[in-house]
Amino acid sequence: MALSRYACVMLPRRLRYPVVAVLTLLVSGTALSRAQDPKRMAAPPAPTLALNELGRGTADLSGPWQFHLGDNLEWALPGYDDKRWDQLTADKPWGLQGHDSYTGYAWYRRHITVTTAPGASPDVALLIPAINDVYEIYWNGERIGREGRMPPHWVAYTGLPAQTYGLGQARSGVLAVRVWKLPLSSIDDGTSGGFNGMPLIGSPDAIAAVRASMDYEWLRSQQFHFALTSLFALVAMLGFFAFWRDRSQWLLFWTALFSSCLVLELFLNGLRLHMSFTAISFWYQTEVSVREMSLWFLLMWMLQLQENRKLVVLTRKVALISVAASILDGAIYILYPSILSAFALEVADALLTAAILFFEAYPIMLVSYAFLRHKKLESSRWAVAGVAFVNGMVYFVQNVSIQGVRYTHWNFADEISRPMFTVSGSAMTLSLLLRTLLFFSVLYAVIRVYINSRQRTNTLEKELQNARELQRVLVPSSLPVVPGFTITSAYRPAAEVGGDFFQVMPLESGSTIVLLGDVSGKGLRAAMAVSLIIGAVRALAEDHPSPARLLTQLNRRLCGHLQGGFATCVVLRLDPSGDCALASAGHPAPFLNERELELPGALPLGITREVEYEESAFMLKTGDHFSLYTDGLLEARSPSGELYSFARLQRLFASHPSAAQATQAAVNFGQDDDITVLTLTRMAVNESILELSPA
């Protein structure tokens, strides 16, 4: 620079400034070219790797490889001059050797001389541990193998075992590796790309032995995972089978679905299957979203939150959004590069991942909600809640910290994923331990819940059986003959034991008391209430033949003894002359022919002691048809939800049906509750007919 300045001083003044400008540009251009590629000028050409007298063993291809970004198929030719290329090693990716976050094409080249030892196989083979993401192997310009397919119709594979390729007979040549790296995802730290392990060269037998040893070590490291997944599969099959047997056990369904997702995860991400990266990405993202969704609903049933309808609806909406976002995130690589560019792919991945991460904290919210509501649960359920809370926190922190790691450089995810200890070669990480603990806690709690549920079911079935036996005793198997009347009765119970009852009791005075009613509730409790009512009526009937007086006395005895329930009832006193007295305690009014009797309103039995019931009198003439019934007849419901209605009831009784005919009409329409019907028809003097339809 000083010489240039001196020369310029000797020039005429009018030429001095143009000459200085030209010299400055020349010097700057030279310095800039050197600054742009210092390795190209400084690094000496890589020496030829000489592997002399290669015997039955293997040799690694360590040392510097010639490396260049871009793509040109001429770079596979052995005569190509690669002296000005960069130099990298093959024991670690290019992202750790000055080319971080680079995606696209790149080439490796290595000059090799191979000779075999006397008596050894003349053939040699190559072992490639792993290369991201698609690669082709060239030996002296001839392609000898590939993994995946290059763009534009690219196909990449991930997680595959080491691959072997034959090089033919030992000779000198150039080994070239063409690599294509996918665009980075939101969890890439930018350090990947190219070789991930040292390539080996050796005899075919030696290479095969090394690969077998690597496969064995991998299987040994996965044995705990395989054993645990086998247990997942067993639980999934038993859970689905138990749910198929009893569709009310939704806790079993969600447990089975959660377990089956863990089994599917092994096939997608743990067996090194020869599946394309796009297929694995799509199905794995879908599986993870379904697994998380099933865990949410499993926790809801485990923590008994399914009773909160708003929370159930919210969980369904969150699950739908989360699964949809995960499926879209798993499918975006299918759209590259035909629809999405590399930049658009990274933006779409970041946005969809943000939506997925937002909902990954949902299990934490469910557990916190149950805790704040002070849910009274058994210890096994709270154990699941505690483990799920910790597992959710760790899973959430791990996934959040790994997002954009090439910008943040956070290492939380690496710390969580680092093995804590090993068991027979299987590395145990914090995430694996928490997942295992969560699964066994869920399994234990589900078994406890299922056993308790079966015990409650057996107790209920036994109670219902006892109630049926008691009801068969309480429902008359035969009716007394009432001179001058045809009496028919029909009792048709619903699926559960209800509280319908009726009695026909002749009095010493010659009159007959007809009692028909319905107790609130079902099961053994209702049957016990019926037995109490019938016993009380039989004790009171002779002393209080007046229906109103009988109901008043019956109500006083029942108050406080129906365990918060009540009973509707109608009492009819029937005299041989056809004179009738009727009183009702909140029961549907009987029909006289096609006309519903008008009765004063009254409270049901068992509500308050101060009730005084009123009595109505009327006369049954020859041919009159009188019908008493319970509300199961009126409330029969068709498959479309339509009620039987008073209009149909009026037309039915206008035809003077027997009790069996009236009951069958309601059953044909759609029985929804117990149905009891009792009819009386006034006959001529000294005539009487009795018809009883058994239960």
Structure confidence by residue, pLDDT tens digits, 32-90: 333 334 333 444 566 788 888 887 788 999 999 999 999 999 999 999 999 999 999 99
CA gap 340, 348 in Å, rounded: 9
DSSP single-letter state for residue 391: H
Q: Which of 347, 328, 228 is nearest to 285 (CA)?
A: 328
pLDDT at 470: 63
Q: What is the pLDDT of residues 626-682, one digit of tens each?
A: 999 998 888 888 888 888 888 888 999 999 999 999 999 988 898 888 889 999 999
CA 480 to chain centre: 61
Please report, as a single letter, which amino acid is at residue 136.
Answer: E
Please report, as a single letter, which amino acid is at residue 325.
Answer: A
Output the pTM of the full model.
Answer: 0.65
pLDDT at 271: 87
Place of tokens 């959040």: 400
What's the whole-number mean pLDDT along residues 188-206?
92
pLDDT at 497: 64
pLDDT at 40: 38
Instruction: Please give the structure tokens belonging to residue 175.
Output: 């080994």
pLDDT at 469: 66
Neighbours of 673 (CB within 10 A): 23
pLDDT at 643: 87
pLDDT exceeds 50 at position 688:
no
CA gap 583, 614 in Å, rounded: 6
Q: Which of 341, 333, 346, 326 is nearest to 407 (CA)?
A: 346
The third-level CATH classification (topology) of the domain covering 476-693 is: Phosphatase 2c; domain 1 (3.60.40)
Instruction: Please give the structure tokens belonging to residue 247.
Output: 């569709």
Lowest-confidence pick of 7-11, 69-73, 174-178, 223-227: 7-11
pLDDT at 318: 92
pLDDT at 16: 41
Q: Please check whether residue 298 is in contact with residue 254, taking contact to mean a CB–CB distance below 8 angstroms.
A: yes
If pLDDT is split at 50, 70 and 90, which confidence band does 214 have?
very high
pLDDT at 304: 86
If pLDDT is split at 50, 70 and 90, which confidence band does 6 have?
very low
Integer CA distances (angstroms), 167 to 78, 122, 142, 170, 686, in order: 14, 10, 10, 8, 117
CA gap 386, 391 in Å, rounded: 9
Instruction: Please give the structure tokens belonging to residue 90.
Output: 């093959």
Task: Enumerate the β-bridge partners of residue 65.
Answer: 88
Q: Please check whether residue 659 is in contact with residue 681, taking contact to mean a CB–CB distance below 8 angstroms.
A: no
Q: What percent of the chain has pLDDT over 90?
A: 40
> Per residue in 20-31, is it b (16+ CB within 10 Å) or e — as a string?
eeebeeeeeeee
pLDDT exceeds 70 at position 612:
yes
Q: Please check whether residue 65 is in contact with residue 110, taking contact to mean a CB–CB distance below 8 angstroms.
A: yes
Q: Which of 200, 42, 29 is nearest to 110 (CA)?
A: 200
If pLDDT is split at 50, 70 and 90, which confidence band does 178 have?
very high
pLDDT at 410: 81
Neighbours of 537 (CB within 10 A): 23
CA gap 445, 386 in Å, rounded: 12
If pLDDT is split at 50, 70 and 90, which confidence band does 466 have?
low
pLDDT at 552: 93
Please report, as a single letter, which amino acid is at residue 234.
Answer: L
Contact partners, residue 623, CB within 8 Å, separation at least 6? 681, 682
Mean model confidence pLDDT for the chain:
84
pLDDT at 248: 82
Q: What is the pLDDT of residues 513-528, one digit of tens each?
A: 999 999 887 777 777 8
Contact partners, residue 409, CB within 8 Å, separation at least 6? none
If pLDDT is split at 50, 70 and 90, which confidence band does 464 have?
low
CA gap 388, 367 in Å, rounded: 8
If pLDDT is split at 50, 70 and 90, which confidence band does 583 have?
very high
State whether residue 36 is helix, strand or coil: helix
pLDDT at 404: 80
pLDDT at 498: 67
> What is the rounded (10 degree) CA torsion for 349, 352, 357, 360?
-130
Task: Enumerate the β-bridge partners of residue 178.
Answer: 107, 136
Helices 250-269, 277-302: crossing angle, 10 deg rounding: 160
Q: Which of 581, 558, 578 is nearest to 568 (CA)?
A: 558
What's the whole-number mean pLDDT along residues 136-144?
96
SS3 content of the chain, % helix, strand, coil (to 5): 45, 20, 30
Q: What is the pLDDT of residues 417-446, one digit of tens each?
A: 888 888 777 788 888 888 888 888 888 888
pLDDT at 30: 36
pLDDT exceeds 50 at position 1:
no
CA gap 363, 649 in Å, rounded: 54
Q: What is the pLDDT of residues 277-332, one digit of tens each?
A: 999 999 999 999 999 999 999 889 888 888 889 999 999 999 999 999 999 999 99
pLDDT at 516: 93
DSSP single-letter state for residue 498: -
State whether residue 372 is helix, strand or coil: helix
Task: Enumerate the β-bridge partners of residue 88.
Answer: 65
The total number of residues written for the chain in this structure: 695
Task: State the Cα angle at 24 between 20 and 26, rounded to 5°.
Answer: 120
pLDDT at 480: 84
The third-level CATH classification (topology) of the domain covering 42-217 is: Jelly Rolls (2.60.120)
Q: Please check whether residue 354 is in contact with residue 348, taking contact to mean a CB–CB distance below 8 angstroms.
A: no
What's the whole-number mean pLDDT along residues 248-268?
89
Task: Enumerate the β-bridge partners of residue 567.
Answer: 519, 605
State whether residue 225 is helix, strand or coil: helix
What's the whole-number mean pLDDT along residues 87-99?
94
